[in-house]
Chain A
Amino acid sequence: MQWETVIGLEVHVQLATKTKIFSGSSTAFGAEPNTQASAVDLALPGTLPVANEEAFRFATMFGLAVNAEIGKRSVFERKNYFYPDLPKGYQTTQLAEPIVGAGFVDLELEGGRTKRVRIHHAHLEEDAGKSLHEDFAGMSGIDLNRAGTPLIEVVTEPDMRSAEEAVAFAKKLHSIVTSLEICDGEMSQGSMRFDVNISVRPKGTEKLGTRTETKNLNSFKFMEEAIELEVERQIDVLEDGGKITQETRLYNGDTKKARSMRSKEDSNDYRYFPCPDLLPVILDDEYIESVRKQMPELPEAKRARFVEQYGLSSYDAGQITMDKFSAAFFEASTKISNEPKLTANWIMADLGAYLNRTEQRIDHSPVTPELLAGLVVRIKDGTLSSKIAKQVFEAIANGEGDADTIIETKGLKQVSDTGALEKIIDDIIAANTAQVEGYRAAAEDKRAKMLGFFVGQAMKASKGQANPQALNELLVKKLNG
């Protein structure tokens, strides 16, 4: 049987506010345990929450970015359950009246295919603390620094049909929130966490299969692996005549294995009700418009602008604007070199590969926009062949200086000087009389192929520094006598 995969996501996005959603504690990452947990965060008796305006501004920006209706009246509710990382015994969240209503995100997939993923809603809520399980002799240690950090939870419709689509959506979401600067996007620090709802159904049918939820995936790679693994597992179960149990699963990225965490039967009755310590938050049109005006340029708008302003292809512009740091790098470098296409190629190819290999971020790249511009200018003016340019790039990355310094000290300047090239060609013609005769005797249409031999010899003799175009022209001229 042919199976179709159905995927919906719940994404927790930590907002980059300075303070927590309901207290004035810092949200800075990496502090000593419980040093950023105030009386409110610890749920000491008699303490009360007051909502952070920046969290609402960020959530509003997000809503506008995903084409959603902004909840002009949003209400916090209490979601009740006991867990040591949840000090109040309830999570303050939104349910019936969230800040962001239905919206959508359009994805461009490989091969130019597009896909619309609908957002069901997004709501504001507080993050929980952390449980640490090592070193306490059968006990767990609770750190509440993270408790109360503002989150938006983005809930999609079950619109994705493959791991590829789910990952594309996740990347797009990452690009939106980082471009808006409402989230630092640091996946390894848990700034974005994905819960994936997965089910399969016979291709061509409408009814959704029983789904499982794989929780807390914090990298695109793990997300892809976890989805593929779970889809395979579900299909195996169904093809063996079994049934899928609705359950929560955990994927371990190290062992590449997943396991069941709890089934639906043990699931909690959360007893949501409006939080009586907080009042409804009312946002008016004027506020929403003022937020819209302050919004940083979104990836989609930036992409259109890059096509228009720099003449990039839609695909290249999409790649460059996927990440706001790449886009900023591109613009800074192009401003100096005035060579948008070449710059984009270098960012996507050599620079991208280098950063990937060395696990560095483009905004911390040792090859700065200025350094890349210096290189690009020397390629354009013919000083460097593309082959030598790669060599110069590596040297720049190694901190050996800018392009001009490296060209100078290593003597890598391309040889375009006719005199020098003539000498090389004359020597080759003299040393290879048989080949020269063969060439001259050959028909016109065969000659092009035979020319390669002489080009190779000449390049070798010039240590790769011969300007290929000039070399070709001179060779043809001399061989034709």
Chain B
Amino acid sequence: MHQFTIAELVKGLRNKDFSSTEVTQHYLERIARLDKTYNSYITVTPELALAQAKAADRRLADGNQPALCGVPIAHKDIFCTTGVRTSCGSKMLDNFIAPYNATIVDNYLDSGVVMLGKTNMDEFAMGSSNETSYYGPVKNPWAIDCVPGGSSGGSAAAVAAHLAPAATASDTGGSIRQPAALCGLTGIKPTYGRVSRWGMIAFASSLDQAGILSRTAEDAAILLNDMASYDAKDSTCVERDVPDYTADLNKPLNGLRIGVPKEYFGEGLNPQTAAHVESAIKVYESLGATIHSVSLPHTHLAVPAYYVIAPAECSANLSRFDGVRYGHRCENPKDLNDLYMRSRSEGFGAEVKRRILVGTYALSAGYYDAYYSKAQKIRRLIKQDFVDAFQNVDVIIGPTSPSPAFQFGSKTKDPVAMYLEDIYTIATNLAGLPGLSIPCGLVDNKPVGLQLIGNFFAESQLLNAAHQFQQATNFHQQTAPNID
């Protein structure tokens, strides 16, 4: 049962081949048995899941239920869930139970989707390896000594280990696409503003966007249909109809113009990864797409600009964690300053502190123009690169990540090396564009991701291109060696 895709689960539930309770029970049993190895969940919610499954089964019996009714998924622990701890991977929120649901959680509840639990993640989504989680690192099901990527590493490992058929995730600089690449999954980060940020704990507000980790592009399309919505509670959420993302999946790719940016194939890219990406491009050619060389000349500035903007926003976003109204508070504070200093220093891990300090520096008097203002100007140049490129092509293709999954500890001593993991994914967040990663081969038995970048709100086109690739290849059907 755990080999079914979301599309197959939807069909099976509708045909009464099995009940939501059976599927849910099955996944809960697998999580209980196997997750000790992967550590992909922070919190598993069996009672709640079974109650939701039971309710879904009633709706299924009555008929007329939404498509996803009864399908179990996992939520990244960045999304607030009423009555269930939302830790954001941090000691700071180890005791935090949100009094409200994130909008996307509500959207899925309305559709009768069952929540299996909350997945592990880098602390406050700051990391590319899941090593910064207060709840310990997540293991990559493909190679147990390697990272699953981050920050949505728990969601990726859970789906790759078949501990959930799909999971929600969030992406600020690559946090959906890079784990998708490293765990052999399909991961989509929609256009900024497509999905509500209400109830998603903020890392960098102008970059954060919720999305999906799944096994196939078709699953991502089905799940995005319910995740995306206009939400008046999020000022940055776009008031725009949500199309049926499955409608265009089977469109032929004849005439699709694919751009290949030369800047994505430079120094630092693993040659075997490059070879797989080039083969994938050939597949697209065989499917009728035309291939064009494009240039994104400011690509090399994306990581530097990001490491000003994201820390700056996070330094303010994380000021609310002060030990006064919720979250961690130090024992016996001797005065107000002591309360702040100790609560925050005890509650936050090293990477979060580093980014807060970098952001504080970039915004401080005398440095604002040189850092923050400068980075915001570069951001415009980076966006303009894409706008120019999309004059001539429909989709941009390249690697998701410079190399396959790396070993634990290999980059923790060098934050800058870790930051460069996201060299190909960060620019899309800065520009606000949708991005998607699909598996396109293995290097040393570890998956390689192919990144597709679309124009603003062109999710349907991206999912179509990804689905057609998956119809022509079987990379997405490969599972990690020890996973049945």
Residues of A within 8 A of B (CB): 39, 42-51, 78, 80, 82, 84, 87-90, 142, 269, 271-273, 276-279
Cross-chain pairs A/B with CB under 8 angstroms, 26 sampled: A39-B99, A44-B98, A44-B100, A45-B93, A45-B98, A46-B80, A46-B197, A46-B200, A47-B198, A48-B197, A50-B232, A50-B233, A78-B316, A84-B324, A90-B319, A142-B324, A269-B364, A269-B365, A271-B360, A271-B363, A271-B365, A272-B368, A273-B312, A273-B368, A276-B206, A279-B235
CA distance A48 to B93 in the complex (A): 18
Most chain A CB within 10 A, of B98, B204, B322, is at: B322
12 additional contacts, CB 8 Å, given A45-B80, A48-B197, A90-B316? A45-B201, A45-B321, A47-B198, A48-B234, A84-B322, A84-B336, A88-B320, A269-B364, A273-B372, A276-B204, A278-B235, A279-B235
Classify the interface of chain B: helix, strand, loop or mixed.
loop
Contact A46 B365 (CB under 8 A): no
B226 at the interface (CB under 8 A from A): no
CA distance A43 to B324 in the complex (A): 11
**Neighbouring B residues of A277 by C-beta, 8 Å:** 202, 205, 235-236
Contact A51 B235 (CB under 8 A): yes
CA distance A279 to B236 in the complex (A): 7
**When A and B form their complex, what is the total count of cross-chain residue pairs whose Cβ atoms lie within 8 Å?**
101
> Nearest chain-A residue to B234 (Cβ)?
A48
**Neighbouring B residues of A43 by C-beta, 8 Å:** 320, 325
Contact A45 B235 (CB under 8 A): no
> Nearest chain-A residue to B320 (Cβ)?
A43
* Closest A-B pairs by Cβ, 8 of them: A89-B319, A271-B363, A276-B205, A276-B206, A43-B320, A46-B199, A45-B201, A46-B80
CA distance A293 to B326 in the complex (A): 47
> Nearest chain-A residue to B323 (Cβ)?
A84
**Neighbouring B residues of A78 by C-beta, 8 Å:** 316
Contact A88 B319 (CB under 8 A): yes
CA distance A287 to B318 in the complex (A): 37
CA distance A271 to B361 in the complex (A): 9
| Nearest CB on A from B459, distance (A) | 22
B151-196 interface with A by 8 A CB criterion: none
Contact A82 B202 (CB under 8 A): no
Contact B235 A46 (CB under 8 A): no
| Nearest CB on A from B245, distance (A) | 25
Partner of A89, one of B79, B197, B206, B320: B320
Partner of B325, one of A87, A90, A272, A278: A87
Contact B200 A87 (CB under 8 A): no
> Nearest chain-B residue to A34 (Cβ)?
B325
B96 at the interface (CB under 8 A from A): yes
**Neighbouring B residues of A51 by C-beta, 8 Å:** 235
Contact B326 A273 (CB under 8 A): no
Contact B319 A82 (CB under 8 A): yes
**Neighbouring A residues of B98 by C-beta, 8 Å:** 44-46
| Nearest CB on A from B198, distance (A) | 6
The contact string, 1 if C-beta is below 8 Å from chain A, for chain B 45-78, is: 0000000000000000000000000000000000
B88 at the interface (CB under 8 A from A): yes
Q: Assuming A82-B319, A84-B324, A88-B320, is B363 touching A46 (CB within 8 A)?
A: no
B330 at the interface (CB under 8 A from A): no
CA distance A51 to B236 in the complex (A): 12
> Nearest chain-A residue to B204 (Cβ)?
A276
**Neighbouring A residues of B340 by C-beta, 8 Å:** 82
**Neighbouring A residues of B313 by C-beta, 8 Å:** 276
CA distance A48 to B206 in the complex (A): 12
Contact A82 B235 (CB under 8 A): no
Contact A42 B325 (CB under 8 A): yes
CA distance A365 to B152 in the complex (A): 66
CA distance A232 to B234 in the complex (A): 52
**Neighbouring A residues of B289 by C-beta, 8 Å:** none
**Neighbouring A residues of B368 by C-beta, 8 Å:** 271-273
**Neighbouring B residues of A279 by C-beta, 8 Å:** 235-236
CA distance A42 to B100 in the complex (A): 13
**Neighbouring B residues of A142 by C-beta, 8 Å:** 324
**Neighbouring B residues of A276 by C-beta, 8 Å:** 204-206, 236, 313
CA distance A435 to B86 in the complex (A): 103
> Nearest chain-A residue to B363 (Cβ)?
A271
CA distance A112 to B6 in the complex (A): 82
CA distance A82 to B320 in the complex (A): 9
CA distance A82 to B323 in the complex (A): 12
Contact A89 B322 (CB under 8 A): yes
Contact A46 B325 (CB under 8 A): no
**Neighbouring A residues of B321 by C-beta, 8 Å:** 45
B34 at the interface (CB under 8 A from A): no
B102 at the interface (CB under 8 A from A): yes
CA distance A273 to B311 in the complex (A): 12
Q: Assuming A39-B99, A271-B363, A279-B236, is B319 touching A46 (CB within 8 A)?
A: no
| Nearest CB on A from B79, distance (A) | 8
**Neighbouring A residues of B201 by C-beta, 8 Å:** 45-46
**Neighbouring A residues of B318 by C-beta, 8 Å:** 89
